[in-house]
Every structure is written in structure tokens, then in C-alpha cells.
Amino acid sequence: MKTLLTQEEYWNKVAEEKELTTPLPLEVFKKNVPVNARILDVGCGYGRTLHELYEAGYTALSGIDISRKMIARGRRQYPQLDLKQYEGTRLPFEDDSFDAVLLLAVLTCILEDVLQEQLLAEIHRVLRKDGVISINDFLLNSDQRNVERYQRYEKKYNEYGIFELREGVAFRHHSRARIDKLTSSFTPIIFDSVVYTTMNGHKSKGLYFLGRCGKETGGPIGSAKEAACVWRKRGKSFLRNSGLISRSLWLKQFRCPCHLQRVGCLFDLLFLIELSGN
């Protein structure tokens, strides 16, 4: 069986040959994002959309991508742009650094729910309050070619919509419910269902989402802030109703994912301090 390439390996391999296609609706974007806005393009590829924004008069433009070779092509093709390679985990920017973030045809490259959610949480963090997110991506299709490949790989990935290409890489198409969940910490300005031509010349259903980042209402999905909020509410009533119980029992009761346990520890302490003060 042929081993799949990682996304980084794949995009490095095809960086010089692929022409990327899904468009940014410029007029709509311009109406919602002023020309002096600080804009970050996450998964910018070779920077074609940032270049379009540059031509439209935007100047504070940054792009970031996991593919070293995409970035190298972008720097060569559009030397005026600020493009950087990163590891694909934490965005290397301070909180509230940007007025707008682009995420164009990137979710399709991230197969796991949790990694998609982490990326959205990171974008939420680096966007200022009322900043704008602009997403385009692919939706599930119902034509025979797509349905067959979704079905073929459903068992392997435990997800309908993920499929492998002969080029040795896997991509994901999304249900509307999945996109709604991913964008739930942003207030929608626009949600359009569209048809895109893919980089391999096929037609696919897609979406265009423009949303605003409200920072006071809850937090981004999957974030430590959201988890802490839920924990706080549940933990308080649980402790009140049942007295002090051991931490391990509590973790079990609420099935807290491991990576949140450290955050949880801190909040445990705060609950106890607060309760003892009541």
C-alpha cells in the first residue's frame, strides 16, 4: 500500500506546479475591511490572494504557511509580501494582532476535527475584537464520483467526506453542520453556498463565510477559555451539591480531555479559594 504524504510533504512537492483557484470575493471583503487593516492569510500558499489585496491598495499584509516551498515560491513571485513558514500549531503572533484573517482552502487540508478547532481557536486569539474572518472551503458533494470516494474512505477515517487522491494525499469536504460548528464563535456577516473549480479542474460545492470576532461572548470552540468556562459552571454546582470530592473522580465524571487537565488544575484551585470565601 502506498504511504500517504503529510500535508507539508505534499504541498512542498507540488508548490511550483499548482495554480490555486478558490477566489476571495474582493468587493464584499472591501466593504467590510478597511484598506489600512492588518491582514493575516493563514495557509497563504504562494500568496496569490495577498497579492490581489496588495493590488487593491491593502498594505499591512502577512502570510503564513506550513509549506516551506510554497513560501519560497511566494517570496520569489511577490517579493513585496511578508510571507513566513511556520509549524502549523501555534500562530506566532500576539493576541489581538490582526483586523482580518483569511483562511482559504485550508480546512480541506486538515482531516482531524480537533486540529481544525485548534486552528480556529488560534485565529480567534490573534484577531482583535470585531475583527473579520474570511473563510472559503469545500462542502460535501452528491455526485457519483465524490459519493464513491467518500464511501470508500469513510471507514478508514471514521468520517464521511475525507478521501485520498492518487497523488498520495487526503483531503476533506465538510457538511454544513461542521462548518457551522467551526465558525460558531464568529458572528456571520455572509454565508454563501457556491461552486468552485478545484486546483485539479473539477467542480465542487463550496462555501464562503465572512464573520466577525466577538470576544466577550464565551470563547472560541475548543479553547482553554471555553473549557474553563464550562468547567467553572459544572464544577461549582457539583462541589456545592456533593461536598469536596477527589480531583480524579471529578475528571472522570466530566470526561475532561487530557490536554485540558492542566488548565483545569488551576481552575480547581480558584474554585476552592472562591468557595472557601463564600
Ligand X SMILES: C[S@@+](CC[C@H](N)C(=O)[O-])C[C@H]1O[C@@H](n2cnc3c(N)ncnc32)[C@H](O)[C@@H]1O
For 248, other C-beta atoms within 10 Å of its C-beta total 8
Binds ligand X (CB under 6 A): choice among 4, 14, 20, 189: 20
Binds ligand X (CB under 6 A): choice among 49, 62, 134, 146: 49
Q: Which of 119, 114, 128, 21 is nearest to 65 (CA)?
A: 119
Binds ligand X (CB under 6 A): choice among 7, 134, 183, 223: 7
Cα separations in angstroms, 143 against 112, 147, 148, 233, 271? 24, 6, 9, 45, 53
Piece in contact with ligand X (CB under 6 A), picked from 64-72, 141-149, 176-184, 207-215: 64-72
Piece in contact with ligand X (CB under 6 A), picked from 50-58, 103-111, 154-162, 212-220: 103-111
Residues with Cβ within 8 Å of residue 74, at least 6 apart in sequence: 44, 45, 46, 47, 63, 65, 81, 83
Contact status: 44 vs ligand X (CB under 6 A): yes
Closest residue to ligand X, judged by C-beta, is 45
Least separation in angstroms between residue 267's CB and ligand X is: 29
Binds ligand X (CB under 6 A): choice among 106, 123, 127, 162: 106
Give dist(CA 253, CA 132) in Å, integer: 38
Piece in contact with ligand X (CB under 6 A), picked from 36-44, 54-62, 202-210, 219-227: 36-44
Least separation in angstroms between residue 217's CB and ligand X is: 26
The site string for ligand X over 186-225 (x = CB under 6 A, - otherwise) reads: ----------------------------------------
Binds ligand X (CB under 6 A): choice among 37, 53, 61, 66: 66
Q: How many residues bind ligand X (CB under 6 A)?
A: 21
Contact status: 48 vs ligand X (CB under 6 A): yes
Q: What are the backbone angles phi and psi of residue 223, rounded to the nearest 5°?
A: -85, 160
Give dist(CA 158, CA 57) in Å, integer: 45
Contact status: 105 vs ligand X (CB under 6 A): yes
Contact status: 50 vs ligand X (CB under 6 A): no
Give dist(CA 136, CA 124) in Å, integer: 16
Piece in contact with ligand X (CB under 6 A), picked from 40-48, 211-219, 234-242, 251-259: 40-48
Length of the chain: 278
Contact status: 22 vs ligand X (CB under 6 A): yes
Question: Looking at beta carbons only, is 69 or 236 nearer to ligand X?
Answer: 69
Applying CB under 6 A, the residues found at the interface with ligand X are: 7, 11, 20, 22, 42-45, 48-49, 65-67, 70, 88, 104-106, 109-110, 119
